[in-house]
Structure 1
């Protein structure tokens, strides 16, 4: 549904996020996007990326979670099903990482430079992955439903790179909380199909999987 003051294409955008360079309804997109942001109808996620503010949150200083912001940026770049939240971001959506962190991790089909969020001290990192090989599910974010790695995939991804995001304690806690939810046989199947044998061995040595 079109919101008063917002073009129809904004309401139809993947995860309600638009890129300034894609906006065709205005002759001077950045000027008009800034106006809509000032009016509280848009929220600037990063340079050139704007999310539609929920109609019931206009005027409240609303902002999405880091994970949702990352999903919005990725959806604008790759399409609604062209990416997946993974690693610590997936852990957040699986509720095994309770504290918000300043990093989001996205599985993407091609190389993409990190994006610095405009509304907080946080960075979105993109890792090139073949989404067709990954085990994914659809979960809800502040900007809508998006692809997220399954508990088994997330567990292996975290074990594979426990220190790469600079959050070793948080990752360890997430791994320990996530492991009991996972099917050991499915974890082994995922590991075998994606050459994550070392991560599987690490989990077994820690006594987290049988």
Structure 2
């Protein structure tokens, strides 16, 4: 760590390393100017207007560091809505599950309210209005925060229902569904489809599994 850099303990110990200036109102009298100072020292990476990512300890002072897009998306969503109201989903969850081999420039996250796409320095974040309490979730760890993402079964149904969400093509969506189909518990998938009234998505998933 650069010897000139000092980070208040209250910020360094935050579970979510994506911060907005107002999150530091109880730490700094003038958080915006302090954030700019920390940005200049490469303690922060400016993600998008109003959002900053705190660099890992081993990258403090390194201006080349950029956060992972999925981590940034989850961190931004948590900053605005709280840890338990958001979850990585669709192609982003598929990527974390190993069903999408290549990185893409869009992350998809479930949130309580509809909002526009957020353009960031590491890619676009697409927000989908979903009640995460009704989704099948599992824990996920990222370099910026820990939280939730959809299970393989939920992810498969979501992609089958909206294959173009996140900007992938139809062929890519079919490939992802085939990869997920090899990982899922079909009993769980069928129960979710029934509870979430998604018979068409389940049928499309089954078609992809045998294609």
Assess, with a 3 A threshold, how the Cα gap between structure 1 residues 208 and 34 changes in structure 2: closer, same or farther. farther
Of 42, 46, 66, which residue of structure 2 is paired with 1:63? 66
1:148-167 counterparts in 2 under 5 A? 148-167=149-168
Q: Is the 8 A contact 2:16 2:146 kept in 1?
A: yes
Superposition CA RMSD, Å: 1.9
Assess, with a 3 A threshold, how the Cα gap between structure 1 residues 12 and 195 changes in structure 2: closer, same or farther. farther
Q: Report whether the alignment pairs 1:17 with 2:13.
A: no
1:208: how far off?
4.1
Q: Is the 8 A contact 2:137 2:149 kept in 1?
A: yes
Q: Is the 8 A contact 1:14 1:76 kept in 2?
A: no
Q: Is the 8 A contact 2:110 2:129 kept in 1?
A: yes
**Equivalent position of 1:181 in the other structure:** 183
Structure 1: how far apart are the matches of 2:9 and 2:115?
Answer: 28
TM-score (norm 2): 0.90
Alignment length (residue pairs):
205
**Equivalent position of 2:101 in the other structure:** 98
Assess, with a 3 A threshold, how the Cα gap between structure 1 residues 17 and 207 changes in structure 2: closer, same or farther. closer
Q: Which shows bigger deviation, 165-174 or 84-93?
A: 165-174
Structure 1 runs of 4+ off > 6 angstroms? none
Question: Structure 2 unaligned runs (5+)?
Answer: none
Q: Is the 8 A contact 1:86 1:105 kept in 2?
A: yes
1:28: how far off?
2.5
Question: Structure 1 unaligned runs (5+)?
Answer: none
Q: Is the 8 A contact 2:90 2:165 kept in 1?
A: no
Q: Deviations over 1:58-98 (max 9, x none)?
A: 23322121101101101111112220000011011112112
